[in-house]
Amino acid sequence: MLYIEDLVKRYGKFTAVDHLNLEIKKGEIFGFIGPNGAGKTTTMRIIATLLQPTQGTVLVDGVDVIKSPVKVRGKIGYMPDFFGVYDNLKVGEYLDFYGDSYEIQKTEREKMSKNLLELVNLNGLEDKYVDTLSRGMKQRLCLARSLIHNPDLLVLDEPASGMDPRARLEMMGILKELKKLGKTIIISSHILHELTELCDVVGVIENGKLVAHGNVDDIMARVMGRKVITIKLLNSIDRAIKILKQQPAVKGIVEEGNTVEVSYDCEDEELWIIIKSLVDESIPVVSFTKGENNLEKVFMEVTYGYEAK
Amino acid sequence: MDMKLNNPVLSLELKTRMRSFKTVLGIIIYVGILLFVGSMYYAISTETYVYTGVEAVNANQLLGTTLYVIIAILQFVLIMVITPAQTASCINGERERQTLDLLLCTKMSTFDIIVGKLLSSLAYMLLLIISSLPLFSLVFLFGGITPWDVLSLFLFYIVTAMVVGSIGIFFSTIFKRAVVATVVSYVTIFAWYVLTFLIAGYQITMQHIENLSVQQIEVPFILYFNPLFGFGDIISRHLGAGAQNVFIDIFSLRTSSSASGTNIIGTPWIKNIILMCIITAVILGLSSIRLRPVKVCKKGNR
Ligand SMILES: Nc1ncnc2c1ncn2[C@@H]1O[C@H](COP(=O)(O)OP(=O)(O)OP(=O)(O)O)[C@@H](O)[C@H]1O
Ligand SMILES: [Mg+2]
């Protein structure tokens, strides 16, 4: 459904997407994970024919995004990370306008927008002004908008960003509905656990490179296998990190204010060696806790592992 | 033939504009300015005529035609000021509102989007122009001006609005900020007017130097690119058979045989309109190429 080969995007000297290769099969839900500035939006805008790649090939259902952008536009539904709405426009008219711009017949788009509003739980709001909707509602409306021409591939750039947990859950529920309908979806996020339930495959992007790519379960197993301790310090964080890095059992370090999260690979009985190394160097350790496996941190770690290489 | 007349952007803009308070306010201010200037002139001139003792019938006619000229010029200036300001924010406004990507990823071509934007601005200008109609009907009362005159004047207005509006659109695809785009549009329009006059003036002077015996010289073609020239022509015509195009008077020029009106295409203001339509088409084409996010790359251009 989507085929990306050797994709490069440069802004001047800066490389935002660096020789990216990716293939997504029909009906697959692909989670695109990466920290801020990793190149997720850039990649997705290229897929959505909104940005000219510097180099490389992107095919949507076999159609080249550069050679026939208009044909591609009919095949994909794109939801940007940030978007606005028009003033003085009603929800029904909003969907009608975009349906019209996708050259859908009046009767067809009326039927479609009714179904879509039901799908995104906005039914009955046709006559409400778009700019008076809450943020979560606008996001769901934008999702409905991206579906108005019944595209095969959905390109969703952080569709749940800025939503409260309940709204996120609702959004994920809607996406699961879409999965059942057989849509191919590429969805970006910087939160891993948001995607694990939904996605079949995830790819982790960092500095424009795909650093991990595979089945959700595999990647989860890889990161879940790690054990974590949280060490709280009074000061000397930098010195502590230097010491920790020299420990053979330490696999990853995530720094956060006065605490460091250390993932390790050894028996629990040998943990004391790590703390001893700190105390021996008179690092003021305040607390030392065996941590829960926090998924948000796991994501950071995947990227840390890459940096260390 | 499946000619597509439907423009989604146009219908959207019409819908949202008509609901906006700004539209109503704009009309009120526009008519207000025309009314104010018109009544000021009326008040001053009636007083003057009383003192100078111009004969009543002639006075009325003179009053009517002068009022017509004043309102026509004022409206021409207003249109040239308002239209670029309107269109100079249309594309960068979408960008600022973060709706541009949503537009560009639809099946509409960038040309459709740009034409929709221009037409909606023109529709608004037409609304302003029509709302000035009661004032013109006042001019009819005094006599001297026919409804046909006013109709051709309005046609000329719309074409002028179209060309200056497309300049605004072009700069709105270039500059991120509406203020910058507006100012650059004004400067461009001003430079266009001044330059065509200067070049024409130069050509006329050269012809005079080359051939001193000739009393009158053909209108330099470049003048037909200037809407002010066409406007001068149309107003002079409306003032009656005796009146020459002011610019032709100033430069002491001779219009080709068409001046008598036998050949409609040759009439200066019609020529002017045709050229403005061509300029508009070129600018719109350039704007839509600029707005296109993905350029189809040529073979071997890697
Ligand atoms: N128009 C531009 N000019 C220059 N640099 C840009 C431009 N757009 C993006 N970048 C840079 O490209 C990099 C990738 O940006 P991108 O928006 O793709 O990241 P992202 O993964 O979507 O991040 P986020 O999670 O913040 O949305 C960033 O470092 C950004 O500064
Ligand atoms: Mg992004």
Per-residue pLDDT, averaged over B34-38, amounts to: 90
Q: What is the rounded CA–CA span in Å between residue A262 and residue B269?
A: 81
Model confidence pLDDT, tens digit, residues B79-92: 999 999 999 999 99
Percent of chain A at pLDDT above 70?
91
Model confidence pLDDT, tens digit, residues B227-277: 998 898 888 888 865 556 666 666 666 554 444 444 455 678 888 999 999
Which DSSP string do the residues of A151-193 spell out, in sequence order? -SEEEEESTTTT--HHHHHHHHHHHHHHHHTT-EEEEEES-SH
Say which amino acid occupies B111. F
Using the Cβ of B14 and the Cβ atoms of chain A, whether some distance falls under 8 Å is answered with: no
| ipTM of the complex, rounded to two decimals | 0.85
Per-residue pLDDT, averaged over B93-120, amounts to: 94
**CATH 3.40.50.300 residue spans of chain A:** 2-214
The answer for A191, left when phi > 0, alpha when psi is -120 to 50, beta otherwise, is: beta
**CATH 3.30.70.100 residue spans of chain A:** 220-295
Q: What integer pLDDT is reported at residue B42 of this predicted model?
A: 81
Q: Which residue's structure tokens are 């935002």?
A: A16
* Interface contact flag, B16 A103, Cβ < 8 Å: no
Q: How confident is the model at residue A248 (pLDDT cuts 50, 70, 90)?
A: confident
Per-residue pLDDT, averaged over B106-112, amounts to: 94
Q: Does domain A220-295 have CATH number 3.40.190.170?
A: no
- Whole-prediction pTM value? 0.83
Q: Are B135 and B35 in contact (CB under 8 A)?
A: yes
Q: Are A233 and A259 in contact (CB under 8 A)?
A: yes
The structure tokens listed for B9 are 């952007």
Q: What is the rounded CA–CA span in Å between residue B294 and residue B296?
A: 6
Q: How confident is the model at residue A73 (pLDDT cuts 50, 70, 90)?
A: very high
pLDDT at A282 over 90: no
Using the Cβ of B137 and the Cβ atoms of chain A, whether some distance falls under 8 Å is answered with: no
Picking from B12, B105, B294, the nearest residue to A97 by CB comes out as B12
Percent of chain A at pLDDT above 90?
51
Q: What are the backbone angles phi and psi of residue B253, rounded to the nearest 5°?
A: -105, 170
Q: Which residue in A27, A31, A76, A60 sits closest to A182, CA to CA?
A: A27
Q: What integer pLDDT is reported at residue A299 of this predicted model?
A: 58
Picking from A51, A73, A78, the nearest residue to B107 by CB comes out as A73
CA distances from B48 to A18, B60, B139 (A): 79, 12, 19
3-class secondary-structure state, position B96: helix
Q: What is the rounded CA–CA span in Å between residue A172 and residue A160?
A: 8
pLDDT at A293 over 60: no
Q: What is the rounded CA–CA span in Å between residue B66 and residue B24?
A: 29
| Sheet of strand A14-24: strand arrangement | A14-24, A2-11, A55-60, A63-64
Q: What are the backbone angles phi and psi of residue A137, rounded to the nearest 5°?
A: -65, -40
Specify the CATH class of A2-214 in words: alpha beta
Our CA angle for A202, A204, A207, nearest 5°, is 155
The structure tokens listed for B73 are 């010029």
Model confidence pLDDT, tens digit, residues B113-168: 999 999 999 999 999 999 998 888 878 877 778 888 889 999 999 999 999 999 99
Q: What integer pLDDT is reported at residue A257 of this predicted model?
A: 77
Interface test with A, best of B6, B97, B101 (most A CBs within 10 A): B101
Average pLDDT, chain B: 84
pLDDT at A164 over 60: yes
User: Pocket around ligand 1: residues whose beta carbon is below 6 Å from it?
Assistant: A 11, 14, 16, 34, 36-42, 81, 190
